[in-house]
Structure 1
Amino acid sequence: MRRSARQLSPVAQWCLIVLGSTACYFAVGQIGIQWAIVRAQISPLWPAAGVALAVPMLLGPRFWPGIALGALLTNVTFGPSPLVVLVISAGNTLGPLLGYAAMRRCGFRTRLARLPDVVLLVVIGAIGGTAVSALIGTGALVAGGGLASTEFWPTALVWWTGDAMGVLTITPLLLLARRFRPPTRIPLSRWAEATALGVCVFGVSFLAGTDPPKTFIVFPVLVWAALRFRQAGALLCSLCVCTFMIFGAARGVGPYGDYELAARMLLIQTFDATIGLTALVLSTVVLERDRATAEITDAWHHITEMVDMIAPRQSMRSAMTTRRKSEEAAD
């Protein structure tokens, strides 16, 4: 059968997907650069790291050139030399691929419907894989003369925590987006609740970033989002809160603005990691509860149907037994 002229060959499809991944990485990389606090390229929130980990998860590891090209285009203007840029891009590619391989070997499922999947995403994806990228990238900058050796660990810390926050906030949203279906017939009360939640999220995000610290007010809203809007709502809320806090910390304002860079990043990233982990774990636990409830309900329906089928036969058998006993008594 002759192939349709409009159908792309496998090579052309691979190229298009790689270019799409490159464009996506580059676009979110430009967003992360706006918050850069070290050499105008190292940000405390690097959403491109979340995209880099999501590419092998959603598309497959064979599309890794999209990550490499995106990292290369993002870093090429910052130098300090072409070799350093290549090494940084290699680290940005190697870290997510190693994290993905380790998570897959441990049985990770991209649906994020189980608590072990969340633990693997946090421990291996957001902590382990990003550490590889941070150490390679910072080491390349020091070796290439773009960074003093005394600044290695503070810079690596900012790099690592920024990548980790990108994975923790962006990767789960991308994994959920694949299963998103536009809702139909949403009640007006549901729209009103979503609007109220959005207003509260922006309000508490602003208040949490003011001095004196009021970070604790975030958690009731986060619980509300997880209980009522499940993973999507909780993750969007955590992304909003983390963005506000990092934006303030990067500019030296808010409750952590008076600390040195390393201490400031440790404090803000500890808080943001707590927010992201709480949102992810709580919403996943709620999802598991919903699934268990649905399974119990289905089992109950099956049992009810079996009882309904057995009851008439049992009644007929009882009637026949009673009639036989009556006849025997009459004889």
Structure 2
Amino acid sequence: MDVPMIVARRHMLRSAGAAALKIGAVAALYYVGGELGLGQQLVRGQVTPLWPPTGIALAALLLFGPWVWPGIALGAFLINVSLGPSLPLVLAITVGNTLAALCSYWLLRRVGFRTRMNRLWDAIALICLGAFTGMLVSATVGGVVLSLADALPVGGFWPTWWVWWTGDAMGVLLVAPVLLVLSSARRPKDVPAARWAEAALLVAATICVGILETSPTPLIFLAFPLLTWAAFRFQRAGAAPCALAASIFAIYAATHRTGPFAGHTLLTAMISLQAFNGAAALTALLLSAVVTERNQTLERVEEACRRLADMAERSALDTGSLPRGVDEHGDEQGERGGGRRG
């Protein structure tokens, strides 16, 4: 065997090993996210207000490509095999979860979605296509499969479908943006001390607002001024984690029936929680996208102004470099038109 073939085979083995590691990492993250989601159910085995695996799956597809779908399928199978009553039911739900993530990925790629999410259109696409539209697949497949298997009570299809869809959509809206932010994070350089102090203050304020969300006093609305501050000052890098943190505190309050969720029925608490989570996610995504787009427009205008100023300065220098009494054609002004000399 010649040397080029050996090198090519080694390269293929390394590529296959790296792909297998990425698929395994996606499966592990999907499983861990599913366990975290199941740990915050309002009713054990029935109501999950936030399903992080959908955000993990969509972020993995956007960052690595559609070839990592086996990791999504493996993670979905592992997390559902402990819940499903039968293996065919688990396999059907696994297929629905995988297809939902792939559908969201395909829709976002069709409209030119950018993982940097530096345009308003990117935020709208993630909300309407990635979350609300793509997750219809998993909710519909799951609801139909459970109904056919007689695993739902009479009249339980639509409540189950609604809970499934909103939980999957919230996973996309709250988890995927944070993962996309982390994927593009770089070590900051030459950051002023005042900027670090403001970031630390934002973190402290987020924790304080989260604690207030779980307190007996209904102050859950304080999350929205916090999200506004994060979006205006830190754009997506600040707004996405703040929205996720605010939603986690709200889910904790709803799970333990404290704060604004105390004394309400399960249906009322679920509707209120999902309304808050949706409003927080939409506020964070849309406002940060608008501010980012505005900042980019200002930067382009300033750059255009600097270029015009440089052009004007060069033009003035070129005009002023000609000798006095000589025009741009090199003729002496006194000789033009047969004027007399001396």
Given the alignment of the two structures, is residue 136 of structure 1 paired with residue 141 of structure 2, yes or no? yes
Q: Is the 8 A contact 1:80 1:144 kept in 2?
A: no
Counterpart code for 2:260: P
Counterpart code for 2:92: V
Counterpart code for 2:166: T
Q: Is the 8 A contact 1:154 1:261 kept in 2?
A: no
Q: Larger deviation: 236-245 or 262-271?
A: 262-271
Describe the superposition over 1:57-86 as per-residue Cα deviations: whole angstroms up to 9, x where unpaired: 111112111111000001111121111111
Name the larger-Rg structure: 2
Q: Which residue of 1 aligns with 2:166?
A: 161
CA distance in 2, matches of 1:197, 1:231: 14
Q: Which residue of 2 aligns with 1:228?
A: 233
CA distance in 1, matches of 2:67, 2:10: 24
Q: Larger deviation: 168-177 or 214-223?
A: 214-223
Q: Tell me which of 14, 23, 26 is aligned to 1:21.
A: 26
CA distance in 2, matches of 1:318, 1:297: 35
**Percent of aligned positions that are identical:** 40
CA distance in 1, matches of 2:214, 2:44: 25
Measure how far apart 1:263 and its partner are.
3.3
Q: Larger deviation: 15-24 or 311-320?
A: 311-320
Q: Which residue of 2 aligns with 1:195?
A: 200
CA distance in 1, matches of 2:42, 2:144: 18
Q: Is the 8 A contact 2:26 2:71 kept in 1?
A: yes
Counterpart code for 1:295: R
Counterpart code for 2:103: L
Q: Which residue of 1 aligns with 2:223?
A: 218
Q: Tell me which of 303, 311, 315 is aligned to 1:306.
A: 311
Given the alignment of the two structures, is residue 3 of structure 1 paired with residue 31 of structure 2, yes or no? no
Q: Is the 8 A contact 1:38 1:155 kept in 2?
A: no
Could you say what the CA RMSD is over the residues aligned between the two structures, in angstroms? 2.3
Q: Is the 8 A contact 1:91 1:132 kept in 2?
A: yes
Q: Which residue of 1 aligns with 2:290?
A: 285
Describe the superposition over 1:71-110 as per-residue Cα deviations: whole angstroms up to 9, x where unpaired: 0001111121111111111111111111211222222222
CA distance in 2, matches of 1:292, 1:244: 35
Given the alignment of the two structures, is residue 104 of structure 1 paired with residue 109 of structure 2, yes or no? yes
Q: Which residue of 1 aligns with 2:65?
A: 60
Describe the superposition over 1:193-242 as per-residue Cα deviations: whole angstroms up to 9, x where unpaired: 22211111121222234445323322222111112212111111111111
Q: Which residue of 2 aligns with 1:320?
A: 325
Counterpart code for 1:282: L
Q: Tell me which of 253, 258, 265 is aligned to 1:248.
A: 253
- Provide structure 1 residue ranges, at least 5 long, that are not aligned to the other structure: none
Judging changes above 3 Å, is the alpha-carbon distance between structure 1 residues 257 and 320 closer, same or farther for their aligned structure 2 residues? farther
CA distance in 1, matches of 2:59, 2:49: 19
Q: Tell me which of 80, 83, 87 is aligned to 2:88.
A: 83
Q: Give the secondary-structure state (helix, strand or coil) at the position aligned to 1:35.
A: coil
CA distance in 1, matches of 2:89, 2:19: 28
CA distance in 1, matches of 2:86, 2:42: 20
- Provide structure 2 residue ranges, at least 5 long, that are not aligned to the other structure: none
Q: Which residue of 1 aligns with 2:56?
A: 51
Q: Larger deviation: 115-124 or 197-206?
A: 197-206
Judging changes above 3 Å, is the alpha-carbon distance between structure 1 residues 316 and 330 closer, same or farther for their aligned structure 2 residues? farther
Q: Give the secondary-structure state (helix, strand or coil) at the position aligned to 1:182.
A: coil
Q: Which residue of 2 aligns with 1:94?
A: 99
CA distance in 2, matches of 1:175, 1:36: 26
CA distance in 2, matches of 1:76, 1:24: 16
Describe the superposition over 1:146-196 as per-residue Cα deviations: whole angstroms up to 9, x where unpaired: 321322222222221111111001111222222110113433322222221
CA distance in 1, matches of 2:94, 2:83: 12
Judging changes above 3 Å, is the alpha-carbon distance between structure 1 residues 71 and 310 closer, same or farther for their aligned structure 2 residues? same
Corresponding residue pairs, total = 331
CA distance in 2, matches of 1:42, 1:251: 14
Q: Which residue of 1 aligns with 2:181?
A: 176
Counterpart code for 1:290: N
Judging changes above 3 Å, is the alpha-carbon distance between structure 1 residues 329 and 296 closer, same or farther for their aligned structure 2 residues? farther
Q: Larger deviation: 254-263 or 123-132?
A: 254-263
CA distance in 2, matches of 1:188, 1:264: 42
Counterpart code for 1:147: L
